[in-house]
C-alpha cells in the first residue's frame, strides 16, 4: 500500500511518473465572487489563464492524470515551477508546504478505508496563486463535493475571502477525514478489551496486529501532515493571509488531536497485546499444573502396582492375606502426602485476588 | 471514552455539533469589583453585553449547550470569532490557547473519575476579553463552585485583579483536579506491588492493565494541557498581565509535576507487569521441575516392573529366588543415581539467594 | 513515597498545607561579612528584617513548618510573594527556579535513603534577596551543617561573595547527595551481574525490580533538578552574579553526570532482568529436554512390556523359548534408535560455545 | 559492512587511508556551457585548473583512489583544504555538508544491494567551487551515468545553471537510489505477513531478522543524509544559489519520505516478529493441551488397570464375576468426569472468535 | 567501572579528591615555535609561568596527581579558576567545555579496553590559555605520544598554529580511540550472528549481554563528548580561532559517526538477543512436540495393554482365540488415527519455508 510511482533512477528532475490506470483528466472550474458563482468543465487548457479575473476566485480542479500533455499544458498556462508539477503528479508525496516565486504548493493526504479494511492515503496537490487555486487529484476522490456545494449555496465566509481561504477549506475537509478512521480503530481496540480477558482466542491477536498496522500507516501520513500545516503558519510564511491563519490554526489543532489519538491508540493496542499474551500464558500454566499434579500423583502409584504385577516366583508380600490392603494403604498415604505437598506450595486451591478497594 | 462529537465531514467551519443530551443552557453571571459582588441568572442573551461595565469583572458562565440559538446569541453579543464558538461547543477539543483580535480563547480539560473507575475528561472553554470572562461548560460540572464562593467571600487578590486573574483561578482549580486522580493511580500501583510477589493472581495483571489504560488517558490530556499553559506564558503572549503571569507559572509547575507523576507511574506499572510475569514464569518452572523429577525417576522403574510382569513362559530371572530382591536393588540404585544427577545439575534443593548486603 | 500535601481542591492560591507532624519552626540566623560571623536563633519573626545590614549576608534558616502564623510572619517581614510561601511550605514541589520582583525562589530536592532502602526526596526552598537568603526546610534535614561550619571557619570564597554564592554552596551540597545514592544503586546492579549467571535465584529479580523502582524515583526528581539549574544559568537570568555563575555551571555538570549515571543504570538493570529471564528460560528448557528424553525412550518400552503382560489365553509369542530375549532385543534397538535420533537433532550432548576470540 | 579505513591513531590530520584494492584514479572531465559540451579524460592533474573557464561548468570526476600522489595533485591544483581531501578519501564518512573558504564540501552516500542481499553504502564526495565541481568516488560506482547523458543531451535546466545545479542533480540521483531498496524491504515484510499467520516456519523469523538488520543499516546512513541536506538549506548557507535551493528542497522531501518509510518498516518488522512469536506460542500451547488431556485421562485409568494386574493371592474383587465390568464402569465414569471438567475450564472445544464487525 | 572519586559531601568547592594510587606528578613541557622545538621535564612548578614566551606554544603535560601541593602550585602559577583545578583532578568528570576569564577548560575522555575486556574511560583535562596549554592526566596514559612526535618532526600545520590547534590535535587523537573499540564491538556482534542461528549456546547470550554493557558504557561517555565538541563550535565561543574550527568540525563529525555506530550496534545487539531467544524457544517447542506425540500415542496403548493384564477371573475377551490379534488391530487403528490427527493439525511433518524470492 506504500508503493510510489517513481521516475527511473537518474531521471531529469521534473520527469512525470503518471500512475498507471489514472483516467483522462477532467478539468473542472469553479469560479466565484461575493455575488456570483459558476461551475463548468474546460477542455482546452490554454484558455485557463484567461479565465482568472480580479474579484473572482478561480478554482481549477484536475481529476485524473492520464494525459501528460494536458497536465504540462496546465503547468505552462500557470507558469508552474517544474518541481511543482512533479510533486503534483508523482503520487504519493510526503505532505508538505512549499513556496515558489509566485505561487505556493501544498500537498495534503487523506486516509480512505477500503472495503477490505486496507487504508489508502491518496494525495491532493494544491497550487495557491493570486486569485486562483489549482488542485490535482489522481482520480475523482470525492473529498471536495461538500465544499463545492457550500460555494454554490453561498453564505459563510467562503465567498468573501480569497483563494487562500478556499485552499484552507479544502485542506480542512481532508483533515476531517482522519478522525472517523482513527476513531474507528480506537473503538475496535476497546471492543477487543473484553475478549482478551474472557476469551483469549488467537483471532484476537490477529485483529490487534491488523489494527496496529493500520495505525502505523495513519501515523506515517499524519505526522508529516501536522508538520506541513505547522509550516504554513510560520510567521514569515506567505501561505495564508492573517484572517485565514486563524482558521488554519484550528485545523492544526485538529490534526494534532488526531495524531495524539493515533499515538495513544497504538499504546493501547500494545498494552492489549501484552494483556492477551499474559492471559494465554496464565491459562497455559493452569493446564500445566493439572498435568503435573495428575502425573506426580499417579506415576508412583502405577509403579507400585507394576511391582506387584511382576511374575517372580518368590515375592513374599504376594502371599500375605493383608498384602493387597496394605498396598492400598500405602497408595492412599502417598496421595494424601502429595496433595498436602502441592497445597503447601500453593499449586492447588484458588489463590485470593487482591482486595477490590486497591 | 474518547468519542468526540464532530460535525459531518465537509461541514462549514463553525458548524456546531451539540453533544446529545446536553441540557438547556443556564447562563449564570457573576459580577464583581473590589467592593461589590452580585450573582444572578440571565435569560435574554442579548442583554449580556450591556452588563459589562468598567471597574467590574463580568463572568458569564454557560452551563449546558442544549439550545444552539442561545449559544449563537452569546457569540453574537460578544462578537466571538466563529471558530471560537465551534471550539467551545464541539467537545472535546485538545487543550489549547488561542488569541483572536479582541479576545483570547483557552480550552482546559479536567479529569473526573466515575463510579465505575472510568475517567472522563470534560472540557471548559474560556473566552477572556476586556472586563469579561465567558466560560462554556457542556453541563454543570461543579469545578467552579469553590472559586465563586471565594469571590463572594472577598479577600485575597481575586477582587483586585481583572478577568485574567479570574481565568487563572478557574484554570488552576481545574488543574488541581488532576493531582488526586494521578495520586490514586500511583497508590494503586504501589498497593499491587506486594501482591505481585506474594500471590501472583491473574487479577493482579488485569488491574495493572486497567491502571495503565487510565494513565494513558490522563497522559493524553495532560500533555496538551501543559503545552497550552506554556503557550499562555510566552513573552509575546497577550493572555495574561504580568502580575497574573507569576501565578500562572505556578500552575504550569503543577501540571508539569502531574505529568511527571503520570509518566513515572506508567513506568512503574510496566515494571510491575514484568515482575508479575517473571514471578508467574518462575512458579511455572518450579511446577515443571517437579513433574520432570517424578517422571524421570518413576518412568524407568515402571518399565522394569513391566518387564517382569510379562507372561513369557521362559524368563529365567523369574525363577531365581533372589530375583525380586535384585530388581528392587536395581530400582533403588537407579533412583539414587537420578537424584544425584539432578542435584548435580542444581534441579533439586534450594539455591541460595544473593547476600542481603548487596 | 510520592504523596504530596495539597490544599483542598479550589483553595485560594497561597493556601498553606502544612505537612502533618512538622515540628514547630526553629529560626536559625547566620550572619557574616568578610571579617565577622555570628550564628543565633530568633524567636520574634518581626525583628528579622531589621537584621539585614549592608556588607553582611544574612541567612535565615527555617527548620520546621508547624506554626502557620510564624511562617506567614516571615513572609510578611520579607514581603514574599504569596505564591512563594506556598511553594516553600506545600512540599514537595518540583525542583524549579522562579524570579519575582525583588527576590528569587529556588526549590531543590535531595534524595535521602532510609534504613529500609526507601528513598525520600525532601525539598528545601531558597529565597535569595538583596543581602539575605531564606531557606525553608520541613524539618531539620542536616544538609547544611558542613556549609555552616565552613562559614564559621572562614577562608575560601564564601565570606567575600554575596547571598547568591551562599545559595549556590547550599544547592551544591544538596546536589552532591545524589551521587552516593546513584552510585550505590549502580554498584548493586553490578553485584547482581554474577548471581544472574551463576545462580538465577528469583530473589535476584526482586532485587532488580526494587533497584529499578528506586532509579525511577531518582530520575523523577533528578531531571527537574537539572532543568531548574539550567534555568538559573540562562543569560537573561537575574539569579546569580557572573562570578557565581561559573560555580553554578560546575553544579550543572554534576547533576548532568548524575542523571546520565541514573539513566545508564536503568538500562543496565533492564538488560540484567532480560539476562536473568533468558537464563531461567534456558535452565527450564534443559529440564524439559531431560523429561522428553526419558519419556520418549521409556514410554514405548513400557508399552511393549505391557503387551506381553496381557493375560490372553492365546498369545503365540509367549510360548516361544526365545520370545523374552527377542523382546529385549527389540527394546534395545528402539532405545538405540531414539538416542541416535535425538543426537541427530542436537538434543543430546553439549553444544559448543562460540570461540572466545570473537 | 561498517568497516572504515582509518589512519592509525594519532596520525596527522589530513593523513590519507586509501581503501585497499581501490583502482588507479581515472579522471574524467565533463565541461559544458549553454551551447557546448565536451567529455574527456585527463592524465596530468596539474593541467586541471587551467581547464576552468568562465561561462563553463567544469566537472572533474575522479574514479578510484589508488594513487595518493595524483589525489594530492588534484587537491593542490584546486587548493583544497587538507581536511577536505581526507574526508573525500578516507571512506566512509558520515554524510555531511561543510563550507570552507572558497569551496564547499558535501558527502553523500547511496545504498547498493549486493547479490547476496548485503547492503553497502559507498560515498561520493562533492567539492563545489566557483565554476567547477569535483567528485571523488572510491571506484567507478555508476551513479552518475544518467546525469552525464542528460548533460550531453542538453535541454532542461542543467545547461543554464552553474556547478551548484550539477551538484544538486548528482546528489538527487544518489538519493533516488534509497527508494527502491527501502521499498523492496518494505514489500518483503508485507510478503511475510501471510506466512506468519498461516505457516510460522522458523525461517520466517530469520528473514525478519535479516530485513531488520538491513533497515538498521539504511537508517544509519539515511538519517545523517537528511541532516546534511537540511544543513545545505539553512538560510545563511552559501551552498546553493536561491533558484537551485528550490530543487534541493525537493530532494530533502524525498529523503525525509524515505526515512519515514524506513522507520515505519522497522516498526512493522517489529510487530511482525511479535506476531510470529505469539503464533508459535499459541501453537505450542495447543500441543501442550493435547498432551495434558491425554495424560490426565489415561494416567489414572492405567493405574487402575495396574492395580488389578497385581499378583496378590488375595484380591477379593478379582474373584467377582462382575468385577471386570465394574472396573470398566469406573474407568468410563472417570473419563466422562475428566472431559466435563476440562470442558468447564474451557480447555476442550473451540473458543469463539470475536464477531467480525468489531 | 563508574566509580568516581568525590570529595566528602558538603566539601568546599575546589576541594581535591586525588584518585588513590595516582603517581607523583611528572611535568613534561613541550615548547615549540615554527622553527624551534624543545621537550624537557620541570620539577619546580613556580618556574612554569616564566617559560611562556610569545611566538612559542608552551605545552605543560602533567602526568600523575599524587602530590596536591604541586598541582595547586601549577594552578597558582597559571592563575587557574579554583573550579578548573577541581575539574581536572576529581576524575572522572563529564566531558565538557567551559570558558573562564582568561583560559578555557575542556575535558575529554577516551575509552581504553583492558585485557579483561572491561572498558575504562580515563579523562584528560585541557586548559587552553594565551600561548600555553596545560593537560592533566591521572597517570601516563600514552594518548599523546604520536602528537608529541609530530611536533618534534615538524611539518604540517601544527608548528604554525597556536595552542588551540595543539589542543585540537590532542582531542582529535583521543576521539580517534573510540573508533577501534566501537568497531570491535560491532564486529563481535556480527560474529555472533551465525552462532545464534546454527548453535544457540547459552554462552552466546552471555556474550551479547557483555557487549551491550560495554556499549552502554561507550554511549554514556560518547554522548557528552559529542555535546562538548559541539559546544566548542558555537559561534560566540572563544575556544578556537576560525582556522582551527574547520579542523574541529571534522572531529565533531567523527564523534557523531562513532555515536551512531554505537547506537546501531546497540540495536543490532538487541535484535540478536531477540533472535537468540526465538531460536531457543523454537527448539524447545520442537522437543515439546516430540514428547507430546510419543506420549499421546503410547499412553492409550499402554492403558489397553494394562486392561488385559488385569487378573480378574472372568474377562471374556481373554478366552477368545482372536482376542490378542483384535487388540493389536485396535492399537494400530488408534496409532494411525493419532498420526493423522496430528498431521492434520500440522504437528507432524516439516512445514514449508517461505519462497526465497520474497
E191–C250 C-beta distance less than 8 A: no
E213–C358 C-beta distance less than 8 A: no
Give the tens place of pLDDT for each residue, A270-329: 889 888 888 887 777 777 788 888 888 888 898 888 888 888 888 888 888 888 888 899
Interface of E with D in 178-197 (CB under 8 A): 179-180, 183, 186-187, 197
E284-344: CATH topology: Methane Monooxygenase Hydroxylase; Chain G, domain 1 (1.20.58)
Q: Best interface-test mutation with D: which of A3, A10, A107 has the largest number of D CBs within 10 A?
A: A10
Give the tens place of pLDDT for each residue, B310-343: 888 888 888 888 888 888 999 899 999 988 888 8
A3–D183 C-beta distance less than 8 A: yes
C326 in reach of chain B (CB within 8 A): no
Q: How far apart are CA E203 and CA E212, in angstroms?
A: 14
B313–C321 C-beta distance less than 8 A: yes
Confidence check on the interface: ipTM exceeds 0.85, yes or no: no
Chain C residue numbers touching B250 (CB-CB < 8 A): 13, 83, 86-87
Give the tens place of pLDDT for each residue, E135-169: 999 999 989 999 999 999 887 788 888 999 999 99
A213 in reach of chain D (CB within 8 A): yes
E114 in reach of chain C (CB within 8 A): no
* Cross-chain CB nearest to C268 (options E98, E213, E305): E213
In C, minimum Cα distance to B279 occurs at C202
What is the pLDDT averaged over residues E307-335? Answer: 87
Chain D residue numbers touching E257 (CB-CB < 8 A): 93-94, 224
Question: Residue D350's pLDDT is what?
Answer: 60
Question: Residue A136's pLDDT is what?
Answer: 96
Question: Residue D358's pLDDT is what?
Answer: 43
Q: C282: which strand partners? A: none
Across chain E, mean pLDDT equals 87
CA angle (B19, B24, B30) in 5-degree steps: 110
* Higher-scoring residue by pLDDT: B41, A345: B41
Question: Residue A125's pLDDT is what?
Answer: 96
Across chain A, mean pLDDT equals 87
D285–A284 C-beta distance less than 8 A: yes
Lowest-confidence pick of A69-78, A318-327, C226-235, C339-348? C339-348
What is the pLDDT averaged over residues C202-229? Answer: 91
On the question of pLDDT at C310 being above 90, the answer is no
Residue with cell string 547544611: C144
| CATH 1.20.810.10, domain A286-344, yes or no | no
Chain B residue numbers touching C283 (CB-CB < 8 A): 285, 346
Task: Please give the C-alpha separations between residue B52 and each of B71, B129, B251, C263, D225, in angstroms, as whole numbers.
Answer: 18, 10, 28, 55, 59
Question: Residue D3's pLDDT is what?
Answer: 60
What is the pLDDT averaged over residues C36-65? Answer: 91
D299–A299 C-beta distance less than 8 A: yes
Give the tens place of pLDDT for each residue, C152-170: 988 778 888 899 999 999 9
Give the tens place of pLDDT for each residue, A193-219: 878 877 777 788 888 989 999 999 999
Q: How far apart are CA C186 and CA C193, in angstroms?
A: 11
On the question of pLDDT at D194 being above 90, the answer is no
On the question of pLDDT at E262 being above 90, the answer is yes
Give the tens place of pLDDT for each residue, A105-126: 999 999 999 888 889 999 999 9
Superfamily of segment(s) B287-344: Magnesium transport protein CorA, transmembrane region (1.20.58.340)
Q: Return the HEC string of chain B.
A: CCCCCCCCCCCCCCCCCCCCCCCCCEEEEEEECCCCEEEEEECCHHHHHHHCCCCCEEEEEEECCCCHHHHHHHHHHCCCCHHHHHHHHCCCCCCEEEECCCCEEEEEECCEECCCCCEECCEEEEEECCCEEEEEECCCCCCCHHHHHHHHHCCCCHHHCCHHHHHHHHHHHHHHCHHHHHHHHHHHHHHHHHHHHHCCCHHHHHHHHHHHHHHHHHHHHHHHHHHHHHHHCCCCCCCCCHHHHHHHHHHHHHHHHHHHHHHHHHHHHHHHHHHHHHHHHHHHHHHHHHHHHHHHHHHHHHHHHHHCCCCCCCCHHHHCCCHHHHHHHHHHHHHHHHHHHHHHCCCCCCCCCCCCCC
Confidence of residue C285 (pLDDT cuts 50, 70, 90): confident
B298–A354 C-beta distance less than 8 A: no
Lowest-confidence pick of A37-41, A238-242, C74-78, E78-82? A238-242
Confidence of residue A3 (pLDDT cuts 50, 70, 90): low
Q: Tell me the three state secondary structure of residue C138.
A: coil
On the question of pLDDT at C179 being above 70, the answer is yes
* Cross-chain CB nearest to C351 (options E87, E199, E277): E199
Give the tens place of pLDDT for each residue, D299-316: 889 888 888 888 888 888
Confidence of residue C180 (pLDDT cuts 50, 70, 90): very high
In C, minimum Cα distance to E196 occurs at C354
B317 in reach of chain C (CB within 8 A): no
Q: Best interface-test mutation with E: which of C303, C316, C345 has the largest number of E CBs within 10 A?
A: C303
* Cross-chain CB nearest to B201 (options A143, A311, A352): A352
D326 in reach of chain A (CB within 8 A): no
Question: Residue C114's pLDDT is what?
Answer: 86
Of the candidates B292, B146, B294, B119, the one whose C-alpha atom is nearest the C-alpha of residue B217 is B119
D173–A9 C-beta distance less than 8 A: yes
* Cross-chain CB nearest to B309 (options A147, A295, A309): A309
Give the tens place of pLDDT for each residue, B225-271: 999 999 888 877 778 888 899 899 999 999 999 999 999 999 999 88
Give the tens place of pLDDT for each residue, A6-26: 777 767 777 888 888 899 999
Question: Residue E60's pLDDT is what?
Answer: 95
Across chain C, mean pLDDT equals 87
A118 in reach of chain D (CB within 8 A): no
Question: Residue D111's pLDDT is what?
Answer: 95
Single pTM value for the model: 0.86
Which DSSP category does C1 fall into?
Answer: -
- Using CB atoms, list chains with 3+ pairs below 8 Å to chain E: C, D
Q: Best interface-test mutation with D: which of A8, A13, A72, A207 has the largest number of D CBs within 10 A?
A: A13
What is the pLDDT averaged over residues B199-218? Answer: 87
Question: Residue B2's pLDDT is what?
Answer: 46
In C, minimum Cα distance to E282 occurs at C285
On the question of pLDDT at D349 being above 70, the answer is no
Interface of D with A in 26-65 (CB under 8 A): none
The C-alpha cell at E336 is: 494411525
C100 in reach of chain E (CB within 8 A): no
Domain with CATH 1.20.58.340 in chain B: 287-344
On the question of pLDDT at A237 being above 80, the answer is no
On the question of pLDDT at D7 being above 80, the answer is no
Confidence of residue C125 (pLDDT cuts 50, 70, 90): very high
**Which CATH code is given to the segment(s) D285-344?**
1.20.58.340
B153 in reach of chain C (CB within 8 A): no
B286 in reach of chain A (CB within 8 A): yes
Distance from CA of C146 to the nearest CA of E (A): 5
Distance from CA of D152 to the nearest CA of E (A): 36
Q: Tell me the three state secondary structure of residue C356.
A: coil
Task: Please give the C-alpha separations between residue D341 and each of B142, B283, D348, in angstroms, as whole numbers.
Answer: 53, 24, 9
What is the pLDDT averaged over residues B207-229? Answer: 92
What is the pLDDT averaged over residues A67-95? Answer: 91
Domain with CATH 3.30.460.20 in chain D: 26-276
Q: B99: which strand partners? A: B104
On the question of pLDDT at E357 being above 60, the answer is no
D235 in reach of chain E (CB within 8 A): no
Question: Residue B315's pLDDT is what?
Answer: 84
The C-alpha cell at D236 is: 545563511
What is the pLDDT averaged over residues E318-327? Answer: 86
- Using CB atoms, list chains with 3+ pairs below 8 Å to chain A: B, D
Question: Residue B3's pLDDT is what?
Answer: 60
Give the tens place of pLDDT for each residue, E197-221: 777 777 888 889 899 999 999 999 9
* Cross-chain CB nearest to E183 (options D3, D298, D318): D3
- In CATH, what is the architecture of D26-276? 2-Layer Sandwich (3.30)
Question: Residue A350's pLDDT is what?
Answer: 60
Amino acid at each position: 500500500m506504500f508503493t510510489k510511482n517513481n521516475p527511473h533512477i537518474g531521471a531529469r528532475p521534473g520527469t512525470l511518473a503518471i500512475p498507471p490506470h489514472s483516467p483522462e483528466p477532467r478539468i473542472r472550474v469553479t469560479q466565484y465572487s461575493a455575488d456570483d458563482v459558476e461551475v463548468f468543465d474546460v477542455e482546452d487548457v490554454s484558455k485557463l489563464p484567461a479565465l482568472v479575473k480580479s474579484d473572482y476566485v478561480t478554482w481549477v480542479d484536475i481529476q485524473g492524470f492520464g494525459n501528460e500533455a494536458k497536465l504540462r499544458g496546465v503547468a505552462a498556462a500557470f507558469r508552474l515551477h517544474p518541481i511543482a508539477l512533479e510533486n503534483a503528479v508523482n503520487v504519493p508525496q510526503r505532505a508538505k508546504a512549499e513556496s515558489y516565486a509566485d505561487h505556493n504548493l501544498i500537498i495534503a493526504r487523506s486516509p480512505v478505508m477500503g472495503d477490505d479494511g486496507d487504508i489508502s492515503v491518496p494525495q491532493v496537490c494544491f497550487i495557491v496563486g493570486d486569485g486562483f487555486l489549482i488542485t490535482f487529484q489522481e482520480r475523482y476522490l470525492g473529498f471536495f463535493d461538500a465544499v463545492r456545494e457550500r460555494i454554490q449555496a453561498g453564505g459563510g465566509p467562503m465567498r468573501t475571502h480569497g483563494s487562500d481561504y478556499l485552499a484552507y477549506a479544502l485542506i480542512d475537509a481532508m483533515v476531517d477525514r482522519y478522525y472517523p478512521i482513527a476513531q474507528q480503530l480506537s473503538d475496535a481496540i476497546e471492543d477487543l478489551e473484553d475478549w482478551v480477558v474472557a476469551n483469549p482466542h488467537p483471532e484476537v491477536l490477529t485483529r490487534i496486529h491488523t489494527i496496529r498496522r493500520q495505525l502505523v500507516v495513519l501515523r506515517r501520513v499524519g505526522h508529516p501532515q501536522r508538520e506541513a500545516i505547522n509550516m504554513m503558519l510560520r510567521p514569515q510564511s506567505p501561505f495564508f493571509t492573517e484572517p485565514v491563519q486563524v482558521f488554519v490554526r484550528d485545523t492544526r489543532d485538529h490534526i494534532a488531536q488526531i495524531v495524539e489519538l493515533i499515538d495513544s491508540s497504538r499504546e493501547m493496542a500494545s498494552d492489549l497485546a501484552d494483556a492477551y499474551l499474559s492471559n494465554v500464558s496464565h491459562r497455559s500454566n493452569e493446564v500445566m499444573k493439572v498435568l503435573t499434579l495428575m502425573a506426580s500423583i499417579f506415576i508412583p502409584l502405577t509403579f507400585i502396582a507394576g511391582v506387584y504385577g511382576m511374575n517372580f516366583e518368590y515375592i513374599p508380600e504376594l502371599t500375605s492375606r493383608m498384602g493387597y490392603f496394605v498396598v492400598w494403604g500405602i497408595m492412599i498415604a502417598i496421595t494424601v502426602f502429595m496433595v498436602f505437598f502441592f497445597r503447601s506450595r500453593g499449586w492447588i486451591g484458588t489463590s485470593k485476588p487482591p482486595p477490590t478497594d486497591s
